[in-house]
Amino acid sequence: MGSNRLDSSAWFQRNSTTGRRAWLRWLPAVAAPVAIASGALIGSLPAGASNPLPAKTPAQVLELAASHQVQTFSGTMEQSAELGLPELPATGKPSGPASPGSVASMIELLSGKHTARIYVDGKDNARVQVMDQLAERDVVRRGSDVWFYSSKDNAAAHLAMPAHSQGPADAKDQAPPKDMQGAPGLHTPAELAQQFLSKVDPSTAVSVGSDVSVAGRAAYNLLIEPRTDATLVGRVAIAVDGENGMPLSVQVTARGADKPAFSSGFTSLSLAAPDPSVFTFTPPPGGTVKELPVPDRSREPADAHQGAMHNGAKGRVAVTGTGWETVVGTARGSASAAESMLQDPLLSQAAVAVPGGRLVSTPLLNVLVTDDGRIFAGMVAPERLQAAAAAAQ
Amino acid sequence: MPSSLPADIPEAAGTARAAAAPRSSGLSLLASELKVLFGRRRTGALLLALAAIPVLIAVAVKVSSAVPAGRGPAFLDRITQNGLFVAFTAMLVSVPLFMPLAVGVVAGDTIAGEANLGTLRYLLVAPAGRVRLLLVKYAGALAFCIVAPLTVGLAGAAIGAALFPVGPVTLLSGGVVQPVEAALRIVLIAAYLAVSLAGLSAIGLFLSTLTVVPVGAMAATVVVSVVSQVMDQLPQLEWLHPWLFSHYWLGFGDMLRQPVLWDSFASNALLQAGYVAVFGALAYGRFVTKDILS
């Protein structure tokens, strides 16, 4: 009797939990993923234009971008490149010394995703921290002193800039660009935007898309489309800050592609002056310190157009073509640069043999290393590089 | 596994707690759970094994020749100059396998261990309730998540200080901090790792409610952590990477920057909170609808 009652009550309990209320117990297990998914979905939606920027014509936005005067800011930027270059896995990066400005570090920065913190205060103080996993590459500029530091091998390098580079006459020296030499594959949005805006010519279609939000700031979406078929670039989208005209992000899409092959943009930005302590750098104890030779300023004008190539070439630089069809070539006698490029295991793996040399081909940029050691680069089809190489002979 | 050995049964732990539960809230249940967890020989052995990692590293570096710069795991080449780097190296080395292993053992044992010992129903006889028991069990696993990285870090700092000189520590950004602040950074990394392991603990808790064989839940938890890390390495699954609970595990290097980068800490905490919510809810759904037969 007793046991019978116990059984029936247990049966009742079981029945009630499995039957009527059991599904209620599983409700949180359903609700939690749904809540997370909807939260993620809302977060990924483009921010609504609750406070739309005043309408501007493309010419006005171009002018706004060209006239921006932001010299003091700090922020985090993300650069991602899908150029089809050999990608290194996230762990197990080459542990060899990552010397500042080496070809390897350039390729590494031009493949995959990278995050960097940038601090800029006026023209003379800047710091870029390229944040790798468990490592960091720093470029610190304070006045005429520039320090490069790589935490991987605890190596610091110092460069004393010539005094005339700080003069106000050096108008194109817009804070960060010149300080990026330690991380030549990394480009700030402002630096990139400047390069692309310089290519805008009457043959370029410029339009303004609907406003975008970058790093929490409303921005004009300036769309630049080269009309010439000669370039690999299909479209460049530049987010221009609605308030101060600072380029906040740049996305470059190859011709015929629908997703950007290269993008660089701020994920957070503050216009307050950074803490001055970030611009001080003393080489840490126990590491190596190297003094770098002062770069030759005479080749700078060409540098500005050279894009990703600007650390490779040492010799005379020849520029052919204009605007989007620009091809930059080095003269004979700079074989060392070409050799160092091809000695890099990653790059030599990416290079394919073509008539007249070896070609590193990406959706946006082609680089031709000729058999006699010259380098030609441009955002053009390989045939044009070969033609330029033949013509320069 | 030791759990099946009679010697491992804490002296009538289940019944002792069952007796304590009625006159108290979850707090005393938690206190007794922590006492049982950390009084267990198995837990002590796990922590000892974790503490052995920095000792092994330090001794190996001490008896071998200097590590060339940039070789081996990060920070290894700095140990001879500064003993505190033993702590950083050991924490880095233990993240992929040893920490998840230890946490898997503890989290996988939470419910299944009691079920296996036959103490689960005694715990539930008391009006403590299944929800409270689940919360207390998870809190115990979390406590282990806090203690485990701290053990590695502190053991590393201690053995490093004993075998090598201690001085100002060079951070990833090239700046230098005094040993006191470096110790603070070690604690900060331990906190980062504790947060990192919270999601895995929740997964272990859920798996533990599915079975009465603790070894199964432990092994499954460890396997899940390995699978997650393998998937994190596959470029084909890049869209999935930000959703994997192990995605930010090695991001603790951001605690060693100057200034400290909090972004990864925040993203990691949010991600782990999501895993705790989902697998906590699953564990709840399973545990309160489950027939407790042992």
Closest CA to A283 of A134, A157, A135: A157
Coil, helix or strand at residue A280: coil
Coil, helix or strand at residue A297: helix
- Closest-CA distance, B237 to chain A, in angstroms, reads 13
DSSP string, A240-267: EETTT--EEEEEEEETT-SS-SEEEEEE
For residue A181, give Cα distances in angstroms to A27, B115, B153, B168.
Answer: 56, 63, 37, 29
Chain A hits for B261, Cβ within 8 Å: 117, 131
Report the range out of A69-73, A164-168, B120-124, B138-142 with the highest average pLDDT: B138-142
A142: number of CA atoms within 13 Å, CB side? Answer: 13
B176, closest residue in chain A (CA to CA): A284
Q: Answer yes or no: do B174 and A32 touch at CB < 8 A.
A: no
A87, closest residue in chain B (CA to CA): B235
> Greater confidence, A12 or A386?
A386
CA atoms of A60 and B5, how far apart (whole Å): 79
Q: In sequence order, which ranges of A16-57 are alpha helices (DSSP H)?
A: 22-25, 27-44
Provide the pLDDT confidence category of residue A274 given band limits of 50, 70 and 90.
very high
Whether A285 has its CB under 8 Å from any CB of chain B: the answer is yes
For chain B, the domains span 13-289
Nearest to B170 among A22, A35, A154 (CB): A154
Provide the pLDDT confidence category of residue B5 given band limits of 50, 70 and 90.
very low
Q: Answer yes or no: do A29 and B175 touch at CB < 8 A.
A: no
CA atoms of B69 and B258, how far apart (whole Å): 21
Interface test with B, best of A17, A20, A131, A158 (most B CBs within 10 A): A131
Query: In this predicted structure, what is the pLDDT of residue B10?
Result: 45
Are the C-beta atoms of residues A269 and A189 closer than 8 Å to each other? no
Whether A284 has its CB under 8 Å from any CB of chain B: the answer is yes
Query: In this predicted structure, what is the pLDDT of residue A103?
Result: 60
For the segment A221-225, the average pLDDT, to the nearest whole number, is: 92
Residue in this structure with the two tokens 């190297």, named with its chain if needed: A290
Whether A22 has its CB under 8 Å from any CB of chain B: the answer is yes
Query: In this predicted structure, what is the pLDDT of residue B64?
Result: 85
For the segment A22-50, the average pLDDT, to the nearest whole number, is: 82
Q: In sequence order, which ranges of chain B are alpha helices (DSSP H)?
A: 13-20, 26-39, 41-63, 85-94, 98-117, 120-125, 130-163, 179-210, 214-233, 263-289
Closest CA to A222 of A243, A198, A247, A202: A247
Query: In this predicted structure, what is the pLDDT of residue B115?
Result: 92
For residue B247, give Cα distances in angstroms to B118, B252, B265.
Answer: 37, 11, 12
Provide the pLDDT confidence category of residue A318 given band limits of 50, 70 and 90.
confident
A37, closest residue in chain B (CA to CA): B274
The lowest-confidence range among A205-214, B64-73, B101-110 is B64-73
A17, closest residue in chain B (CA to CA): B289
Q: Is domain A296-391 classified as CATH 3.30.310?
A: yes
Query: In this predicted structure, what is the pLDDT of residue B217?
Result: 97
State the maximum Cα–Cα separation within chain B, in Å, rounded to a whole number. 62
Has residue A200 got a pLDDT over 90?
Answer: no
A residues 105-124 near B, CB within 8 Å?
117
Whether A352 has its CB under 8 Å from any CB of chain B: the answer is no
For the segment B171-198, the average pLDDT, to the nearest whole number, is: 94
pLDDT tens digit string along A277-287? Answer: 999 999 988 88
For the segment A97-126, the average pLDDT, to the nearest whole number, is: 75
Provide the pLDDT confidence category of residue A106 given band limits of 50, 70 and 90.
low
Q: Answer yes or no: do A97 and B70 touch at CB < 8 A.
A: yes
Q: Answer yes or no: do A131 and B254 touch at CB < 8 A.
A: yes
Q: Answer yes or no: do A287 and B278 touch at CB < 8 A.
A: no
Task: State the fold for domain A58-279.
Answer: outer membrane lipoprotein receptor (LolB), chain A (2.50.20)
Nearest to A286 among B81, B259, B261 (CB): B81
A residues 145-184 near B, CB within 8 Å?
147, 149, 151-156
Query: In this predicted structure, what is the pLDDT of residue A197?
Result: 87
CA angle, A70 as apex, A64 and A75 as ends, to 5°? 115
Whether A18 has its CB under 8 Å from any CB of chain B: the answer is yes
Chain B hits for A275, Cβ within 8 Å: 259
Residue in this structure with the two tokens 């590089």, named with its chain if needed: A385
CA atoms of A107 and A75, how far apart (whole Å): 24
Query: In this predicted structure, what is the pLDDT of residue B125?
Result: 79
Strands A204-214 and A217-226: antiparallel
Enter the DSSP assignment of A18.
I
The lowest-confidence range among A121-125, A313-317, B27-31, B218-222 is A313-317
Residue A12: both structure tokens together? 């009742």
Residue A192: both structure tokens together? 């990139």
% chain B with pLDDT above 90: 71
- Closest-CA distance, A17 to chain B, in angstroms, reads 6
Chain B hits for A129, Cβ within 8 Å: 173, 257
User: Helix B130-163 crosses helix B98-117 at what angle (to 10 degrees)?
Assistant: 140
Q: How many H-runs (helices) and E-runs (strands) does chain A carry? A: 10, 18
Q: Which residues are within 8 A (CB) of B288 and not within 5 positions of it... i.e. 6 or more apart?
A: A17, A25, B130, B131
Strands A145-150 and A155-160: antiparallel
CA atoms of B243 and B226, how far apart (whole Å): 15
DSSP string, A327-375: EEEEPTT-HHHHHHHHHSHHHHHH-EEETTEEEEE-SS-EEEEETTS-E
B27 CB neighbour count, 10 Å cutoff: 9
A288, closest residue in chain B (CA to CA): B69
Has residue A164 got a pLDDT over 60?
Answer: no
- Bond prior to B259 in cis (omega within 30° of 0): yes
For chain A, the domains span 58-279, 296-391
pLDDT tens digit string along B141-160? Answer: 999 999 999 999 999 999 99
Q: Answer yes or no: do A117 and B71 touch at CB < 8 A.
A: no
CA atoms of B217 and B109, how far apart (whole Å): 7
Provide the pLDDT confidence category of residue A163 given band limits of 50, 70 and 90.
low
CA atoms of A97 and A81, how far apart (whole Å): 23
CA atoms of A334 and B236, how far apart (whole Å): 39
Query: In this predicted structure, what is the pLDDT of residue A306?
Result: 41
Q: How far apart are the first and last CA of chain B?
A: 19
